[in-house]
Structure 1
Amino acid sequence: MKDVRTPRSFPFLRQDFAASLVVFLVALPLCIGVAVASGVPAELGLITGIVGGIVTGLMRGSSLQVSGPAAGLTVLVLEAVRAFGLPALGVIVLAAGLLQIAMGLLRWGRWFRAISLSVVEGMLAGIGLVIIAGQLYAAAGIPAPESGLDKLTGLPGALADALGNRTALVSLAVGAGTVVLIVGWRRMPRRARAVPGALVAVLLAALATALFDLPVPTVRVSGVLEAIHLPGSEALSSLADPALLGTVLAFALIASAESLFSAAAIDRLHTGTRTDYDKELVAQGAGNTLCGLLGALPLTAVIVRSSANLEAGARTKASRVLHGVWLLLFVALLPAVLAYIPLAALAGILVHAGWKLIPFKGVLTLWRRHRGEALVLVATATAIVAVGMFEGVLIGLVLSVAKAAWEASHLRIEHSEDGRDAVRVRLQGTITFLRLPQILDSLEALPSDRRVVLDLTGVHHLDHACRAALETWAERHSGADAEAVRADTAPDRHEDSAAGPVSAPH
């Protein structure tokens, strides 16, 4: 683990300066690629990167985490732009940012750590699958279907069409070459790896496209000022739309969860100051509020940039602020360079990013140790692909809560002889409605010609549904002794455990 300190002056400026250049080179192609994949001008991705570096970077929270446009929100942004239009994107991001600030001020940041890791990994896996499927169409220059499921099922047909089209084949070759170069770049000498493989791949793809006049589309450049869309009165009035408010909630929750889980991961890699989750949530909200005012993409903390920042030797927040400055200088001095970047190369970068979002090893490990968690992860990813981003996350959360409730409801049923004419049924553990079918099945299977003693002395908690069901069962089987049954049970201490046995003669 790296020893990271938070000095009052700038004794680590040399290390932070070098790290900022590395983070800038990592962030540049990703900012552009995420914007293009989200269906918005490439300049908006760079604006979000600048805000994430300079504005969020200056604020307190996590000192080494780097924020910017993230592949994890690509699917959600694309759906929002298609549903409400580009002018409404700024309003959505603005409202989501204000909601994040409110959650941070209310000190809700720490509660995001209570979200099941399986749900988060399932969310990222589902996003990764949709990104990969969508960017394969983009790499071939073919329009992609709107839904994630249609993207996956339509891939074989799209590939068959691409094989008969020379332009599509050339575009696919550029995208495939980008992926191969990024993956293979990790085997290069350490000095060469100082330059990120994604940037090298984009530069080589642009050079090849220009030298050989390849028939592949490139990034469209409209200018930074032209790309900015300040929210107007019409866009602000759309906040009355319940569907748009649901999208705002999805942006705020998913961006917050991704940022705070990234912070937790980065904290494990160094020994410096820990993240203040509430302040980090306020910082993320402030960045998104400004991005919304500028009509740009939403920002989150990005684990790829953050880990690159740490590995490059960053010691303070100066590195992430400087990386935002370099992005600003690029936008101001070299915006025309964007027009030389092939879209297929950006698609290749995002295919690689989407692949890294899928935790293949994690799923196998969970299946061997915690199959329930593995099923939640797979179900969340499947729901995101089949239904949608927000709905998929909600399904994952519901499944996670249901699984936790089931596991917390420990029940042990023991049968023993209690004299010659009675059977003692002893229940032990925590009894909730989830275990009610098991209990009733066990009671109904008892001999009808013997008296039953239901012993609840080992029960720690008995919820209302189970108490009512057991009393009903006792009344049905005890006849005139129903009042005695109720008298033998414990006082209702928040539906707590019963203190004594319940006799129910058949």
Structure 2
Amino acid sequence: MPAGRPTPLGSPSAERAKDPEHEPEHDPEHTADPEPAKTAEHAEHAAVPGPAAPPEHTAPRRTLVADLSASVTVFLIALPLSLGIALATGAPLQAGLLSAAVGGIVVGLISGAPLQVSGPAAGLTVVTADLIQQYGWRATCAITAFAGLAQLALGSLRVARSALAVSPAIVHGMLAGIGATIALAQLHIVLGGSPQSSPVDNTLALPGQFAGLDLAAVSVSAVVIVVLLGWPWLRGRGTGPLRYLPGALAAIVLATGFASLTGLHLPRVDLPSWSSHALAGMPDGPVLGLVAAVLTITVVASVESLLSAVAVDKLVVARGDRHPVARADLDRELRAQGAGNFVAGLLGGLPITGVAVRSSANVAAGAVSRGSAVLHGVWVVLASLLLVGMLELIPLAALGALVMVVGIQMVKISHVRSVRRHREVLVYAATVAGVVALGVLEGVAVGIAVAVAMSLHRLSRTRVTLERRGGGAAPGADPGADPGAAEDAYDVRVRGQLTFLAVPRLSRVLAQVPPGAAVEVELTGSFMDHAAYETLQEWRQAHVAHGGAAELVSATGRRIAEPATAHHCHPWTPWRNHCCVTTPERPAPAHRLLSGISNFQRNTAPRVREELARLAREGQRPTQLFLTCADSRVVTSMITSSGPGDLFTVRNVGNLVPLPDGPGSGTVSVSDADGGTATAGTRQDAAGAALPDDSVAAAIEFAVEVLRVESITVCGHSGCGAMQALLDEEAAHGDVAGTAAGVPPTPLRRWLRHGLPSLARARAGGPPIVSRPYADDAERVSLANVAQQLDHLRRHPCVRRRLADGSLSLHGMYFHVGEAQAYVLGEQGDFTAVRPGPAGLPERAAADVR
């Protein structure tokens, strides 16, 4: 049974053998942050739960204080990173500050992810540097603006979630390739030189760079690297402001102080007057090249921003914030990123994306609204106007070392382990190599091509084997026949998906089967296309025509025939659906039961054996007594998502609870929490008179006094035959007890006497359903019956004692079979529908009904 299922009316789940926990992923630029979800399905799990917001008179002040504090933290991280990324791209340094401000103010105001912080990011460094080298700075700004318009269009078309469908191996490979390219380029600056035009040239130039390294630049860079690597350790042991100082800022401050104190002569930050800042200009070049450039920035910026937005949602959930924060609207976020890139491009800034480092720091610092991102942009504007003198003290080598470390951190060991675990190392490696050698867009295309090729290879990777069962009985042969007289039997096993690509291999194996032999072809895959089906059927017909016997069977051992209609198979479907396709012959009921048991032994027993062994050792400790009808459509484990050891179940006709001192008889089935079942039949004395019925009372006493269950639930259901019988007998004879003239007092009629109070209660006005009227009189009686049997439970001495000391609670439940909808009886005396989701039970219906 799946982990994480809802528990029945507050009981703990029995699923103790959980699936292995997935290793936490990481953000593109920070090894300590969770990685964004890669699919829309993962994104759906990023909802942010939380209690109600603070009182109105304190909420604005608390929000302002929290956002103000977080904005300062993000600003201290964004300032050096923005300068470093501008340096790495070859753009004017003011462009990094301008994009940081636009990302904070423009994108922050309209963002679909309230706590995401946008700005220049390392993921676009390589792309931007190539564009500047090819088209010049002003043309690159125009390309950025056009990319923003493309993002606005994509966001308006509501295709944002499709970007999350990219294979994680390709995304990881793209980021790793970009990181390697950044690190190679910045290594030259760290060594005191200048980067070359391509990663290959940077690699080839390294020996000469090492031969002529600049000791002053190396020493300043070493300070930055040592501080960045050791800062998490220092901050964890520090106190006061040290604990809140970002590592990037600390590294730049210490490196700048070291360079100033030692009097090192190094190139430093140069921020010309804003009056000379270059704005965007129309690009000049081949149209196809410009379109490719716009497409590259659009794709990389969009994917990185959307993945970061999903990661922020996950971080907010993990933070357990008591402030309600809306989950990310990815289409709105894409439009916000487009607006930011359009404005940044027009004003002469770098391309903008949602930045994982700043966003994770924003969440960790306690931000509760988009105000923190906007304020961080305001601080960047003020710093670029008022702190120019201080910024110009920063050595360029220090910024180069900072960006180099960021690039190295984009190549994550956890990503390599993840793709290796999923056997996608080849896709990852091809994407990395493509990005480094050819460029970002080309590298992603290479990764996609390799991923498609691997998928086709896996789809066609079908294993077909032939085994001989010497002297075995032919499929369908007479079980009483002499086994020694049977022909040799063969097993053909097909492992994997059976498509046209596997037809040649399948045909070769089938051709090895001797004519006239008995053959069983076992298909274990979940898919068989038309070409493979025709091949199997044609071979089967020819083999049978030559005197052989052939059967197609599924992994469960059931025979397969041509499907009449397509349908899905699930463990909770009836026996007739346990195999997707069955032969027209209708098996005997006993054979169906045996087949179902065989299916359990094959598929389910290996998964639950460990848990059942634990229960066998420790004994059962159910927390719930679940009393319901014997109707075959009410599957208690399914509607309560319970497993072995969760429920102690009592089932009888009509989910009736005889009064402890009342007579009665009937057939009652009682199953314990380990699945055992006992049946008590009609009890009569020697003269044939009915004796008091103790079977239900015994089960209640055992559950309450011995097992010490914490709650008892009485569950009725729609279409209950017992309730309908009460109505029919009343209408036909005016009597249900079987005492009317000419009405034989059968066991069923005697048992139904326990339902007479329920019938009377329904006539007087039973409990209603909040969301709709009664479907019919039978439903009215079924609902009243649940409430009435709870009253009967309170009459039992053991229940009464436990209710008095507060150690037991009673619950009423009604299951509508046709709707597959459960309703619970609330403290107001009405039934409320249980809704899907983590909470499930409405607050007004969750209280016990003692």
Q: Same fold (TM over 0.5)?
A: yes
1:43 and 2:89 are equivalent in the alignment: no
User: 1:303-327 deviations in whole A, cap 9, x for unaligned?
Assistant: 1101111111111111110000000
The match for 2:549 is none
Select 2:498's aligned residue among 408, 431, 438.
Answer: 431
User: 1:398-455 deviations in whole A, cap 9, x for unaligned?
Assistant: 223343444456745243678979988565653345x44xx42453467679559997
The match for 1:278 is 331
How far is 1:195 from its partner?
Answer: 2.0
How far is 1:86 from its partner?
Answer: 1.2
Aligned partners of 1:63 and 1:317 also within 8 Å: yes
1:443 and 2:507 are equivalent in the alignment: yes
Select 1:78's aligned residue among 125, 129, 134.
Answer: 129
Q: 1:94 to 1:499 in 2, by over 3 A?
A: farther
The match for 2:643 is none
How far is 1:396 from its partner?
Answer: 1.7
Aligned partners of 2:179 and 2:407 also within 8 Å: yes
Structure-to-structure mapping, 1:382-401, within 5 angstroms? 382-401=433-452
Select 1:355's aligned residue among 387, 408, 421.
Answer: 408
1:326 and 2:376 are equivalent in the alignment: no
Select 1:181's aligned residue among 202, 216, 227.
Answer: 227
Distance 1:2 1:142 in 2: 51
Distance 1:205 1:441 in 2: 66
How far is 1:71 from its partner?
Answer: 0.8
Distance 1:432 1:243 in 2: 41
Aligned partners of 1:456 and 1:499 also within 8 Å: no
Aligned partners of 1:421 and 1:450 also within 8 Å: no
- Aligned CA RMSD, in angstroms, stands at 3.6
How far is 1:499 from its partner?
Answer: 11
Structure-to-structure mapping, 1:193-342, within 5 angstroms? 193-232=243-282, 235=283, 238=285, 241-271=287-317, 272-342=325-395
Distance 1:243 1:83 in 2: 10
Greater shift, 130-139 or 402-411, is seen at: 402-411
Secondary structure of the corresponding residue to residue 282 of structure 1: helix
Q: 1:449 to 1:425 in 2, by over 3 A?
A: closer
Distance 2:51 2:453 in 1: 40
Distance 2:252 2:270 in 1: 15
Distance 1:454 1:84 in 2: 67
Aligned partners of 2:466 and 2:509 also within 8 Å: no
Counterpart AA for 2:328:
T
How far is 1:38 from its partner?
Answer: 0.4
How far is 1:498 from its partner?
Answer: 12
Structure-to-structure mapping, 1:402-417, within 5 angstroms? 402-407=453-458, 411-415=462-466
User: 1:33-70 deviations in whole A, cap 9, x for unaligned?
Assistant: 00010010100011000000000000141010100000
Q: 1:310 to 1:459 in 2, by over 3 A?
A: closer
Structure-to-structure mapping, 1:74-113, within 5 angstroms? 74-113=125-164
Name structure 1 gaps, 5 residues minimum. Answer: 163-167, 482-488, 501-506
Counterpart AA for 2:259:
T
Counterpart AA for 2:156:
L
How far is 1:364 from its partner?
Answer: 2.9
How far is 1:223 from its partner?
Answer: 2.5
User: 1:311-355 deviations in whole A, cap 9, x for unaligned?
Assistant: 111111111100000001112223343322111000111112112
Q: 1:71 to 1:459 in 2, by over 3 A?
A: closer
The match for 1:504 is none
- Give TM-score, length-normalised by structure 1: 0.83
Q: 1:5 to 1:193 in 2, by over 3 A?
A: farther
Name structure 2 gaps, 5 residues minimum. Answer: 1-47, 318-324, 469-473, 475-485, 547-560, 567-579, 584-850
How far is 1:218 from its partner?
Answer: 1.1
Q: 1:318 to 1:408 in 2, by over 3 A?
A: farther
Counterpart AA for 2:227:
L
Aligned partners of 1:69 and 1:300 also within 8 Å: yes
Counterpart AA for 1:100:
Q
How far is 1:294 from its partner?
Answer: 1.4
Aligned partners of 2:464 and 2:509 also within 8 Å: no
Counterpart AA for 1:430:
Q
Q: Which has the higher helix share?
A: 1
How far is 1:461 from its partner?
Answer: 4.4
User: 1:58-117 deviations in whole A, cap 9, x for unaligned?
Assistant: 014101010000011101111111122112111211111111111111111111221122
Counterpart AA for 2:108:
G
Distance 2:443 2:53 in 1: 40
Secondary structure of the corresponding residue to residue 320 of structure 1: helix
Q: 1:69 to 1:97 in 2, by over 3 A?
A: same
Secondary structure of the corresponding residue to residue 466 of structure 2: strand
Select 2:174's aligned residue among 99, 116, 123.
Answer: 123
Q: Kindly, what percent of the aligned residue pairs are identical?
A: 38
Greater shift, 422-431 or 261-270, is seen at: 422-431
